[in-house]
């Protein structure tokens, strides 16, 4: 069975791009979220195998969303998507329970590598 993924980013552009990269390689994108709060809610509903999480989002940022999701499911596999210059935040996210990160701009190969690592 294909791995299921929840894609969280406040930009439709990013969600579309990430979803396309993943679906193109046999992952099943089961849902998208555009705020941290929505990510937590969707995670609870969908229980995906993997979450890709943007850091800067309205309502609830990605790091708080990671904290909430790991409260619900300590085994949740979350991949942070960060921009340049957010190293400190990435560290905080990893401490909060995220498994790995990729840095924008995305190279499809890097994203897929990281996804495979997190799921592996």
Partner 1 sequence: MDLARYAELFLTESREHLAVMNRHLLVLERSPGARESLDATFRAVHTVKGMSATMGYDAVTALAHEMETVLDALRAGRLAVTASRIAACLDVADALEGMVEGAVRGDDLASVGEPLVQRLRVLATDGEDAAAAPAVPAATPAAPSGSPAAAAPRARHVRVDIGRLDALTDLVGELILARGRLVRETAVSDNAPLVEAAEHTTRLLDDLQHAVLHARMVPVSHVFDRFPRMVRDAARGLGKDVVFDMDGDDIEIDRSLLDELGDPIVHLLRNALDHGLETAAERVAAGKPAEGHLTLCAARERSAVIVRVSDDGRGMDRAAITRRARELGVPRRGRGALNDAELLEIIARPGFSTAAQVTAVSGRGVGIDAVLHRVRALGGTVEITSHEGQGTTVTLRLPLTLAIVRALLTRVDDEVYAIPLTHVSEALETDRSELRRTRGGEVMLHHGQRMPVLRLRELVQLPRETHDTEQVVMLEIGERRAGLIVDELTSQQDIVVKRFDAARDGAALFSGATILADGAPALIVDVGGLMRGQHHG
> Residues interacting with partner 1, by CB under 8 A?
10-14, 16-17, 21, 34-38, 54, 56-61, 64, 83-85, 104-106, 108
Which is nearer to partner 1, 39 or 118 (by Cβ)? Answer: 39
What is the closest distance, in whole angstroms, from the C-beta atom of residue 23 to partner 1 in the complex?
A: 13
Q: How far is CA 68 from CA 11, 26, 38, in A?
A: 21, 28, 11
What is the closest distance, in whole angstroms, from the C-beta atom of residue 119 to partner 1 in the complex?
A: 21
CA dihedral (100, 119, 65, 52) in degrees, to 10, reads 80
> Alpha-carbon distance 33 to 7, whole Å?
6
Which is nearer to partner 1, 85 or 120 (by Cβ)? Answer: 85
What is the closest distance, in whole angstroms, from the C-beta atom of residue 30 to partner 1 in the complex?
A: 15
Which is nearer to partner 1, 94 or 108 (by Cβ)? Answer: 108
DSSP-based three-state secondary structure for 25? coil
**Rg for the chain (alpha carbons), in Å?**
12
């Amino acid at each position: 069975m294909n791995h299921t993924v929840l894609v969280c980013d406040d930009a439709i552009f990013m969600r579309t791009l990430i979803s396309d990269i993943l679906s193109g390689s046999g992952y099943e994108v089961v849902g998208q979220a555009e705020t941290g709060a929505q990510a937590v809610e969707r995670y609870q509903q969908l229980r995906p195998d993997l979450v890709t999480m943007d850091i800067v989002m309205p309502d609830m940022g990605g790091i708080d969303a990671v904290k909430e999701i790991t409260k619900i499911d300590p085994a949740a596999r979350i991949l942070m998507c960060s921009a340049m210059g957010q190293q400190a935040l990435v560290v905080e996210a990893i401490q909060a329970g995220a498994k790995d990160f990729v840095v924008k701009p995305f190279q499809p190969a890097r994203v897929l590598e990281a996804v495979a690592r997190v799921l592996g």
